Structure 1
Amino acid sequence: MRRLTGGLILIWAVTFLFSLPETFNFFFWRRQLILLTGILSFGYMSAAMLLAIRPAWLEKRLNGLDKMYRLHKYLGIGSLVALSVHWLAFKAGKWLTQAGVVQRPFRPEAEGINWHAIANDIGEWAFYAFVVFALVSLLKAISYKRFVILHKLAGIIFIAGALHSVMSLKYLMNTLLYDITVIAMVFVGCYCALLSLTSQIGNKKKVNGTVINVERYASNTVHFQITVDQSMKYQPGQFAYLNFHDGESPHPFTVVNYDKQQKIIEIAVKALGDYTAKLVNDLQAGQQVEVEGGYGKFLLSDNKKQVWVGAGIGVTPFIAWLESLASGRSAQAPLEKVIFFYCARNRQEAFFIERLQLLTKRISHVELRVLLADDGELLTPEEIIHQMDNCTDYSVSFCGPEVFAEHLKKGLSASGWCQSQFHHEIFSMR
């Protein structure tokens, strides 16, 4: 985001240097502030629209869809701030003129259709709509289902903003670079907006399937398989969006295992919210489901020595890694040592313990440590450091609650361990 901001400011600065007047006044500086905040806000919105269509090349560059969603959120906040200043700068001229503080320079009356005034009206209403949209999204004031529906409106708001931008440009030689940049962003953003509005995002990664072999663990977890009609691109540790055609938006779930030959996907879901609780209770064999994936960059590290931490349902990507290593499907270079901590509340909720024990017995360099919270077995950063013969040689991969991740990361870094070696996904889609 810093590079994008720097590039946009540079483009504005070039325009500024080619627009220097003989005398400086309030309205010159006001226009420059409008131009600066305009290109920043529209640039952020265009980048956010590009991220929203989930291009594979950007996922690779940003190291995962979770990082893309986080940047998408920051771009939304940046757009809100820049647009607010843009609106204030625009309104300030009228307010100060009416108050008699400044005098507006002479401007001839427009002949025919006043496109400039129309552009201002479109921009102002688009701004009000965006403020409501952004605040509702950021404050999490609505359910995830309504949040996804609301996000469809972002495409309409962007197109309105694009109209405002194109109609507001002066198309002069001294603003040529600025104008070309804005027009390029209009094309990119509007293309992405149309993909979103016509529900074409992720179509190339979608396959249809049927739910089979539904098994419930206790009252809060369901384990099932999906037989799909086509092969999908997938790497162990990735997740997929599942759409059960139940009126809810597609939700992301980690793929426990994928049998490419049989075209069978394995999923485990824990009741962590309203939708997942409903899924745990209501899912039945025979249901039709649309699978979109795989996504994510929570992949097996290249480090020879590793620590894995799977907390609760967060153990699922590590099962995928183990299945890949045990079957010989992994292209991973031979590992020297893996210390694998499986953290669960109690023995009854350690649903995958037998499977993990069988898998780790087949892989000599993986040491499984099961920690049960109800027995007072809590994993600490100090325990992880203690198990490492030389902490600088190890990478740490974590999947589980975000609070637990931050606790371990801070504790490990306080012991001199490099935070860049801590791998985990920010599994928050809003």
Structure 2
Amino acid sequence: MRRLTGGLFFIWAVTFLFSLPATFDFFFWRRQIILLTGILSFGYMSVAMLLAIRPAWLEKRLNGLDKMYRLHKYLGIGSLVALSAHWLAFKAGKWLTQAGVVQRPFRPEAPGINWHAIANDIGEWAFYAFIVFALVSLLKVVSYKRFVILHKLAGVIFIAGAVHGAMSLKYLMNTMLYDIAIIAMALVGCYCALLSLTSQIGSNKKVNGTVTHVERYADNAVHFQITVNQPMKYQPGQFAYLNFHDGESPHPFTVVNYDKQQKIIEIAVKALGDYTAKLVNHLQTGQQVEVEGGYGKFLLSDKKKQVWVGAGIGVTPFIAWLESMASGSNAQTSAEKIIFFYCARNRQEAFFIERLQRLTRRISHVELRVLLADDGELLTPEEIIHLMDNCTDYSVSFCGPELFAEHLKKGLSASGWCQSQFHHEIFSMR
């Protein structure tokens, strides 16, 4: 985001240097603030729209869809701040003129339609809509289902903002770079907005399937298989969006395993919220489902020494890794030592313990350690440091609660271990 801000600031600075007046009055500086906050807010929104369509090349560059969503959120916050400053700078001229503090330079009324005034009206109403949209999104005052529907409105707001921006430009030689940047961002953002409004996002990664097997665990988890009608692009550790055509928006779930020959996708879900509880209790064989994926960069590390931590249902990507390693379909030859911690509340909720034991017996360099919280077995950074012989050259792959991740990172870094070796996905999609 800093690079983007720097690039947008550079475009404004070039325009500023080519627009220096004989005298620097209030209205010159007001216009420069409007131009600066305008390109910052529009640039942030344009990139946010681009991230929203989930392009594969950006996912690779940003190291996963979860990082893209985090940047998307930060860009939204940046847009909110910059747009607020843009609106205040615009209104300040009118307020101060009415108060008699400054005197507006004489500007003859242009003949015909006042396109500039129309552009201002469009921009102002788009700003008010964006304020409501951003606050509702950031404060999480609506359900995930309504949040996804609400997010569709972002496309409409952006198109209105693009119209405002294009109509507000003066198209002069000294503002050419600025004008080109605004038009280019408008075209990219509007294209992305149309993809969103027509539900075309991720269409090249969607396959249709049928739920063919359902198994429930301890009344709060379900393990099921989906047979899809065509192959899916997938790497072990990735997740997919599932749409059961039940009136709910697609939700992301880690793929436990994918059989390419049989075209069978394996998913495990624990009841952690309203939607997942509904899925656990009501999912049946024969249900139709649309699968979109795979997404994510939670992939096998190439470090010689590794620590894996799967907490609760967060064990699922590690099962995918082990299945791949055990079958030989994933050439994982660099690892010499892997200590795998499976953390669960109790034996009843350690749903995959037999499967993990069976898989790790087939892979000599993977050591499985099962920790049950109800028995007082809690994973600590000190235990990891001891088992890794106090060295600092090892990776930690983690999937589980965010607070647990932060606790481990903080404790491990105190021993001189570098936090850049900690790999986990920020599984928050809003």
* Contact persistence 2:393–2:417 (CA under 8 A): no
3-state SS of paired residue (2:137): helix
* Contact persistence 2:211–2:286 (CA under 8 A): yes
Q: Deviations over 1:166-187 (max 9, x none)?
A: 0000000000000000000010
2-side partners of 1:110 and 1:151: how far apart? 39
Q: Deviations over 1:104-146 (max 9, x none)?
A: 0000112110000000000000000000000000000000000
Q: Deviations over 1:196-239 (max 9, x none)?
A: 00000000000000001100001110000000000011000000
Please state how far the C-alpha of 1:391 moved relative to its aligned partner.
2.8
1-side partners of 2:391 and 2:226: how far apart? 40
2-side partners of 1:30 and 1:214: how far apart? 63
Please state how far the C-alpha of 1:390 moved relative to its aligned partner.
4.3
3-state SS of paired residue (2:416): coil
2-side partners of 1:62 and 1:427: how far apart? 15
3-state SS of paired residue (1:121): helix
2-side partners of 1:326 and 1:312: how far apart? 22
Match of residue 55 from structure 1: 55
2-side partners of 1:51 and 1:374: how far apart? 42
Q: Deviations over 1:275-320 (max 9, x none)?
A: 0000000000000000000000000001011000000000000000
Please state how far the C-alpha of 1:333 moved relative to its aligned partner.
2.6
Number of matched pairs: 430
Q: Deviations over 1:228-254 (max 9, x none)?
A: 000011000000000000000000000
User: Which consecutive unaligned segments of at least 5 residues does structure 2 have?
Assistant: none
Match of residue 410 from structure 2: 410
Match of residue 45 from structure 2: 45
* Contact persistence 2:52–2:72 (CA under 8 A): yes
Any residues of structure 2 matched to 1:8-407 within 5 Å, and which? 8-407=8-407
Please state how far the C-alpha of 1:331 moved relative to its aligned partner.
2.4
2-side partners of 1:108 and 1:232: how far apart? 63
Aligned CA RMSD, in angstroms, stands at 0.5
3-state SS of paired residue (1:222): strand
2-side partners of 1:346 and 1:203: how far apart? 41
Q: Deviations over 1:3-24 (max 9, x none)?
A: 0000000000000000000001
3-state SS of paired residue (2:130): helix
2-side partners of 1:111 and 1:410: how far apart? 66
3-state SS of paired residue (1:109): coil
Please state how far the C-alpha of 1:389 moved relative to its aligned partner.
2.1
Q: Deviations over 1:348-383 (max 9, x none)?
A: 000000000000000000000000000000001111
> After the TM superposition, which segments of 4 or more aligned residues of structure 1 sit over 6 Å from their partners?
none
Please state how far the C-alpha of 1:344 moved relative to its aligned partner.
0.2
* Contact persistence 2:212–2:285 (CA under 8 A): yes
> Could you tell which deviates more after superposition, 329-338 or 242-251?
329-338
1-side partners of 2:155 and 2:413: how far apart? 41
> Could you tell which deviates more after superposition, 239-248 or 408-417?
408-417
* Contact persistence 2:271–2:277 (CA under 8 A): yes
2-side partners of 1:363 and 1:330: how far apart? 13
2-side partners of 1:234 and 1:387: how far apart? 33
3-state SS of paired residue (1:20): coil
2-side partners of 1:84 and 1:334: how far apart? 52
1-side partners of 2:117 and 2:3: how far apart? 33
2-side partners of 1:391 and 1:122: how far apart? 60
3-state SS of paired residue (2:245): coil
2-side partners of 1:209 and 1:304: how far apart? 38
Please state how far the C-alpha of 1:414 moved relative to its aligned partner.
1.4
3-state SS of paired residue (1:339): strand
2-side partners of 1:197 and 1:334: how far apart? 45
2-side partners of 1:95 and 1:241: how far apart? 49
2-side partners of 1:334 and 1:128: how far apart? 55
3-state SS of paired residue (2:392): helix
User: Which consecutive unaligned segments of at least 5 residues does structure 1 have?
Assistant: none
1-side partners of 2:97 and 2:402: how far apart? 52
1-side partners of 2:212 and 2:61: how far apart? 36
2-side partners of 1:17 and 1:334: how far apart? 54
Please state how far the C-alpha of 1:335 moved relative to its aligned partner.
1.7
2-side partners of 1:66 and 1:391: how far apart? 30
> Could you tell which deviates more after superposition, 381-390 or 321-330?
381-390
Q: Deviations over 1:41-70 (max 9, x none)?
A: 000000000000000000000000000000
Please state how far the C-alpha of 1:103 moved relative to its aligned partner.
0.1
1-side partners of 2:130 and 2:391: how far apart? 47
1-side partners of 2:75 and 2:393: how far apart? 36
2-side partners of 1:170 and 1:334: how far apart? 59
2-side partners of 1:25 and 1:295: how far apart? 52
2-side partners of 1:162 and 1:177: how far apart? 17
TM-score using structure 1 length: 1.00
